[in-house]
A = this chain, B = another copy of it.
Amino acid sequence: MVRVDCAGLQRYSAALFEGVGVPATDAATVAESLVEADLRGVASHGTTRIGIYVERLQAGVVNPRPKVSVVRETPTTVLLDGDNGLGAAIGVRAMDEAIRRATAYGTAWVSVRNSNHFGAAAFYVQRAIAARCVGLALTNAPPTMALWGGRTPFLGTNPFAMGVPAGSERSIIVDMATSVAARGKIILAAKKGEAIPPGLAVDVEGRPTTNAQAALDGAVLPFAAHKGYGIALLIEILSGILAGATVAPHVGNLYDNPTGVQNLGHGFGAVRVEALAPYDEFAARMDALIREVRESPRGLGVGRIYLPGEIEFELADRNRLEGVPLAPPTVKELRELGARLGIEWPFGQ
């Protein structure tokens, strides 16, 4: 791992997006979303994505200067058309709209269509938390998961994040894909010729498999069997169907589909805490719950019980001080990208 300065990586990443025609504000937002993911230890949604984002912008498949517009609205709901812009820029606009309306009316929901990969969902709910709201962010995604009883990729790994503010304790952030395991881990196992644990995937016939290559030819599974299938399908509805976006299994892949517009759908929800309880009382209740979880009797060999999001907060603290950890292939890719766009890598050799 190479460690680089966080602010420097943010500036460099934003410069890359500006280099392919993205306005400065949007470039900074998207860079922030990716660097934040790297900071939190979620490298899969970090600056490693800049390469494909830039490639799609340059190919004209993603619009660097979208005119995001309101298609339909009520006092507490909005349908936004993202005009095929970068997902994080549209997502922040949508989440902030939800927060603004929840602050005025108590709660709000914003649906988005014509968007693209929006990075880590936790990024958005952190904005809700800062505004003393409970926040929800979810998106559909290209098909990789089987239906319950199916054998072909149909649903995306349809992730969601929900965040809840606390008082003197840190907020709680739940952020997950609805698959048992990331497809990336199965790709890695296939490369190494290793078996995968049972329950992760089915082969082309829909049979449970521990053969990594057979799993890649088949489909990954939602977590918790029919329960995860139900949740993934709900997320598809709340993102794709409600917004009128492309719906799984018709969403094009980010990587294998260099000419196809994705038209992803997202959903953002916010509830203002103060609408339901005096904030200080709510915060005290959250703090008490968090402490009780932390001090709860641990299982044999368990060193610590973590709150959702706690590991990521601690990693981010450390990485902000010590530098953002980047894998060497990501460094190489970012440097080459900068070289092509005439932007100097600011971190020396």
Contact = CB atoms under 8 A, between A and B. Distances in A.
Interface of A: 72, 74-77, 79, 105-109, 111, 134, 146-152, 154, 162, 164, 172, 174, 176, 180, 202, 205-207, 223-224, 226-231, 233-234, 236-238, 241-244, 247, 249, 269, 271-273, 275-277, 281-282, 285-286, 288-289, 292-293, 296-300, 302, 304-308
Q: Which among A146, A151, A230, A288 has the highest number of chain B CB atoms within 10 Å?
A: A230
Nearest to A146: B299
8 contacts: A76-B105, A76-B275, A77-B272, A77-B276, A105-B105, A164-B237, A180-B224, A233-B308
Nearest to A237: B164
Which 5 residue pairs spanning A and B have beta carbons closest together?
A206-B299, A74-B106, A77-B106, A223-B224, A174-B230
A124 to B, nearest CB: 16
Contact of A243 (B152, B276, B298): B276
Given A148-B306, A180-B224, A241 B111 contact: no
Contacts of A224: 180, 223-224, 227-228
A108 B111 contact: no
A134 B233 CA distance: 14
B293 A154 contact: yes
A160 to B, nearest CB: 10
Contact of A107 (B109, B226, B305): B109
A135 to B, nearest CB: 12
Given A105-B105, A241-B282, A148 B77 contact: no
Q: Chain A interface mostly helix, strand, loop or mixed? A: mixed
Contacts of A207: 299-300
A305 B148 contact: yes
Q: Which among A107, A289, A305, A308 has the highest number of chain B CB atoms within 10 Å?
A: A107
Contact of A237 (B231, B237, B272, B286): B286
Nearest to A225: B223
B231 A174 contact: yes
Nearest to A281: B244
A206 B172 contact: no
Given A111-B276, A276-B79, A299 B149 contact: yes
A185 to B, nearest CB: 15
Contact of A296 (B147, B228, B300, B305): B147
